[in-house]
Amino acid sequence: MIVAERKPYEEIKEMLSGYKNILIVGCGTCVSVCMSGGEKEVGILASELRMSSKTDGKDWEIEEATIERQCDREYIEPLKDKVEKADVILSMGCGVGVQFISEVFPAKIVLPALNTEFYGATISEGVWAERCGGCGNCILHLTGGICPVARCSKSLFNGPCGGSNKGKCEINPEVDCAWQLIYDRLKALGQLDKLKEIIPPRNWSSSRDGGPRKIIREDLKL
């Protein structure tokens, strides 16, 4: 899922100054699962803002709505009536949601309530960690199912640097060394031979480095 965190409350408050009718839009997908922008979090933020409105004399009118997905036009369009009444939309979706709502309602200002962080998994309750860099050219079959692009701090392709220390990364003893994980996994699978091959310089054009990406599937186009 896309993992995001809510922005600091003060930053959100600051963004909203000068507006009156605020529509907070949650998203029912990734950010609901990582508990940063689903229906529940929309309710919490709305309550906080209503309280500030009273105590700080902000005169805010807060409206709430959580839709299935903010990355699909069909779920955004039914918001039309609520959107028309709002001066500003505060999206609790990921960065995609913020942008896509404003693409559907180009006349409206859409503000981000979250910081979108990474593609990750739920490790345990309240803990999420990055697993994929979305680089567009997967090599997990070569690296024991552990991604060096997303999980090695230096995105190295040919083994651990000299900073690997007792299984941890030189940047932080809380961070696993991805190459230690890769080594251990391949060893357990009896596939250490895979590490002997030099992985050549990579073609990053499939990644963000090639410019903004777009996929067109002719078989699915209407």
Partner 1 sequence: MKAGGNLEKILEKGEFAVTGELGPPKGNDIEVVKKKAEMLRGNVDAINVTDNQTAIVRMSSITAGALLVQMELEPVMQMVCRDRNRIAMQSDIFGATALGIKNMLCLSGDHQSFGNQINSKNVFDIDSIQMLSMVKRMRDEKKILDVDEEIEGEIKIFIGAAANPFAEPFEFRPLRLAKKVEAGVDFIQTQCIYDMKLFKEWMKAIRDMGLHEKCHILAGVTPLKSVGMAKYMAKNVAGIIIPDEIIGRMAKAPKGKKAEEGIKICCEQIDELREIDGVHGIHLMAIEWEHRVSEIVEAAKLLPRPTP
Minimum CB–partner distance for residue 155 and partner 1 (Å): 5
* Residue 157 in contact with partner 1, rule: CB under 8 A: yes
Task: Name which position in 57, 106, 126, 162 contacts partner 1 (CB under 8 A).
Answer: 162
Part of the chain binding partner 1 (CB under 8 A), chosen from 7-15, 61-69, 89-97, 168-176:
168-176
* Residue 200 in contact with partner 1, rule: CB under 8 A: yes
Minimum CB–partner distance for residue 196 and partner 1 (Å): 7
Q: Please give the full DSSP string across the chain, using - where no structure is assigned.
A: -EEEEEPPHHHHHHHHTT--EEEEEEESSHHHHTTSSSHHHHHHHHHHHHHHHHHTT---EEEEEEES-SS-HHHHGGGHHHHHH-SEEEE-S-HHHHHHHHHHSTTSEEEE-EEEEEEEEEEETTEEEEEE---SS--TTTTTT--HHHHSTT--SSS--TT-BTTEETTEEEEEPHHHHHHHHHHHTT-GGGGGSPPPPP-GGGSGGGSS-----GGG--
Site for partner 1 in 3-62 (CB under 8 A): none
For residue 33, give the nearest of 104, 125, 97, 115 by alpha carbon: 125
Part of the chain binding partner 1 (CB under 8 A), chosen from 28-36, 45-53, 76-84, 175-183:
175-183
* Residue 180 in contact with partner 1, rule: CB under 8 A: yes
Part of the chain binding partner 1 (CB under 8 A), chosen from 35-43, 52-60, 133-141, 148-156:
148-156
Task: Name which position in 1, 132, 138, 161 contacts partner 1 (CB under 8 A).
Answer: 161
**Which tokens hold the place of 131?**
């697993």
* Residue 164 in contact with partner 1, rule: CB under 8 A: yes
Task: Name which position in 106, 124, 125, 198 contacts partner 1 (CB under 8 A).
Answer: 198
Footprint on this chain of partner 1 (rule: CB under 8 A): 153-167, 170-172, 177, 179-180, 183-184, 195-196, 198-202, 204
